[in-house]
Amino acid sequence: MSQTLDSKLVAMLEVVYPAVDCAFVAEQLIDAMALAPDAEAPPAHQNHWDPSDIVLITYADTVQQPDEKPLVTLKRFLDDCLQDVISAVHILPFFPYSSDDGFSVMDYLAVNESHGGWEDIEAIAADYKLMADLVINHMSARSRWFENFRKRVGPGKDYFFEGNPKDDLSMVVRPRTSPLLTPVQTDDGERHVWCTFSEDQVDLNFANPEVLIEFARIIHYYLERGVRIFRLDAVAFLWKEPGTPCIHLQQTHELIKILRLLIEHHTPDAVVITETNVPNRENLTYFGNANEAHAIYNFSLPPLLINTLVTGNCRHLKTWLMSMPPAQMGTTYLNFIASHDGVGLRPTDGLLDEDEKQRLINTMESFGGKVSYRRTADGRDQPYEMNIALWDALKGTAKGGADHWQLQRFLCAHTIMLALEGIPAFYIHSLLATENDHARVEHTGRFRSINRGQWQLDAVEAALADPLSHHSKAFTELKRLIAIRRAQPAFHPNATQFTLHLGLQLFGFWRQSMRREQSIFCIHNISDEVQQVALTDINLIGTDQWTDLLSGMAVDDLAGVLTLKPYQSVWLSN
């Protein structure tokens, strides 16, 4: 007999809160989510995706129109330009905020008035799968909860994590160079609050079950507004224990299981995605046993793919791909090569050596990029991420500098991403091939602003209508590639994948559909020189008819040679 929801919750909660009345907490969580205590779980290992799923990542106000709320403009842009291109849209935090372009939330239940209202969010959710951030690790120092913390009243009095400067914090893993503890004056004296990211982003105290219950109410509200994909922002840092690294602790994993359990009982096809910008082996743990994240961000892909294309050598990318376990049914990877943040370097730990990382950093800086740092346990500052627009990151090579292959290199990167196991996600500035925004960096003083620019709608439309602009060339070809990808059963996010060994200048892998009716050999020249591969090295089945899906070219001589121009890709399908 299967366990009921309340009994499952109690068992999970006892791991996190051994000294608390977990039956009462479970009752509160079930009530917050408007669930039945004896509700049965949805079937396990269900895939909530297929080859047609493509995600767009954007801020609410990336595309603007004078005298119109940006969420209204965004809906028009989606409908006019992307309706047949994407299936889901991730709107980065659209709540009132005080810093970090939305990730310092002041009110989880409100839409930033300058962006629009909940009716605009619901309008987008009606036509696209809506992905929203659950900014769960921290909250704005200007929020009502934190003001109540200062006044020592509820709700908020015990909602934020406090540290002691005398504690042993030497092992704490940091993503920033700012102080971990921030002193604040409260109505009963000075207290030190824990700030993983900045003094304006105060970490929440999940050791208090009331905080978990509050987030259950928030999640329920989002589900009722149409959110179907939850991105758990910075979730790896959720649980703190002085004397430990305070990252990936067991209580964090248990809390993710609890949130997923609640979400899927309310909406069986809702999806939980964890955002954990950490080394690859650590990232993979967030699948749990197919009971934590439905999907994890493939954080090693962006730096390894960029490194591959600027060095003309796919050794590290190929080694990484061979090491990646197939995702269990009901789980998958979220593949991306650019986002609102920088290109993380921690995910290359154990994959690139320090000299290779430095060469990559030097190349990105020569293409106009910036570098952000984090502080290690021994007090040293280490490169944390490279801040650069993907269009500019691929403008040349490490050896030769900028060249005339920028567009081809840029398209090659996306062709690889589109074919890999997992769901592809396009950052809006990559879909539009936007350049580095140095003026915005100068205005904000933040390196991440280099890839967080804004477009006026008429400027976007003009750029995309101009056949000579690189924006139009990139966008038109990306739309074509996406349309091809979406029609292939072998590109199901969970279809079989094997790495091919074709040398260091050709990056290849094989995909086979889940019913085995289609195979696709994906081969990419990642160098600036013509490359050839003998078709006998690919082992195409002689009884099948093979065609390159990208060019329409039929492959008639299976004993012949395939010639690829610099950065050319082929998807050979039967």
Q: Is 127 annotated as a binding residue?
A: no
Same domain, 79 and 220: yes
With 60 as the cut, is the pLDDT of residue 299 above it? yes
Helix or strand (DSSP H, E) at 469: none
Same domain, 331 and 409: yes
Task: Give domain status of residue 266, yes or no.
Answer: no
pLDDT in tens, 254-286: 999 999 999 999 999 999 999 999 999 999 999
pLDDT in tens, 490-518: 999 999 999 999 999 999 999 999 999 99
Longest dimension (CA), the chain: 82
Q: Is 100 annotated as a binding residue?
A: yes
Q: Which residues contact 393 (CB under 8 A, 6 or more apart)?
A: 306, 310, 343, 364, 367, 369, 386
Same domain, 344 and 434: yes
With 90 as the cut, is the pLDDT of residue 377 above it? no
With 70 as the cut, is the pLDDT of residue 346 above it? yes
pLDDT in tens, 97-106: 999 999 999 9
116: domain range? 55-133+211-231+282-375+383-491
Same domain, 396 and 530: no
Task: Give domain status of residue 39, yes or no.
Answer: no
Q: 25 with 33: CB under 8 angstroms?
A: no
Q: Region 285-290: what's the mean pLDDT?
A: 97
With 50 as the cut, is the pLDDT of residue 1 above it? no
Q: 97 with 106: CB under 8 angstroms?
A: yes
Same domain, 349 and 429: yes
Is the link from the previous residue into 70 a cis peptide, with omega within 30 of 0? Answer: no
Task: Give domain status of residue 565, yes or no.
Answer: yes
Q: Is 231 annotated as a binding residue?
A: yes
Last residue of a domain, one of 491, 524, 542: 491
Q: 220 with 263: CB under 8 angstroms?
A: no
The verdict on whether 233 is a catalytic residue reads yes
What number of CA atoms fall less than 13 Å from residue 301's CA on the CB side? 25
The count of structural domains within the chain is 2
The pLDDT score that the predictor gives to residue 130 is: 98
The pLDDT score that the predictor gives to residue 64 is: 97
Same domain, 344 and 430: yes
**DSSP for 65-132, written as a single string:** -TTS-HHHHHHHHIIIIITTT-SEEEE---S-BSSGGGTSBS-TTS--TTT--HHHHHHHHHHSEEEE
- In angstroms, the first-to-last Cα distance of the chain is 46
Q: Is 448 annotated as a binding residue?
A: yes
The pLDDT score that the predictor gives to residue 465 is: 97
The pLDDT score that the predictor gives to residue 542 is: 80
Q: Region 388-401: what's the mean pLDDT?
A: 98
Task: Give domain status of residue 241, yes or no.
Answer: no
The pLDDT score that the predictor gives to residue 242 is: 95
Task: Give domain status of residue 251, yes or no.
Answer: no
Q: Region 13-32: what's the mean pLDDT?
A: 98
Q: Is 138 annotated as a binding residue?
A: yes
CA 350 to chain CA centroid, nearest Å: 21
* Mean of all residue pLDDT scores within the chain: 96
Q: Is 76 annotated as a binding residue?
A: no
Q: How would you write 150-175 as a 3-class SS string?
A: HHCCCCCCCCECECCCCCCCCCCCCC
Query: What CATH code is carried by the domain that includes residue 400?
Result: 3.20.20.80
pLDDT in tens, 198-225: 999 999 999 999 999 999 999 999 999 9
Q: pTM of the predicted model, to two decimals?
A: 0.97
Print burial letters for 251-261: b (CB count within 10 Å at least 16), e (below 16).
Answer: bbbbbbbbbbb
Confidence of residue 375 (pLDDT cuts 50, 70, 90): confident
Active-site annotation holder among 53, 61, 120, 233? 233
pLDDT in tens, 448-496: 999 999 999 999 999 999 999 999 999 999 999 999 999 999 999 999 9
Q: How many CB atoms lie within 10 A of CB 398?
A: 18
If we measure between CA atoms, which residue out of 137, 158, 255, 152 comes closest to residue 201?
137
Confidence of residue 94 (pLDDT cuts 50, 70, 90): very high
Confidence of residue 69 (pLDDT cuts 50, 70, 90): very high
Query: What CATH code is carried by the domain that includes residue 565?
Result: 2.60.40.1180
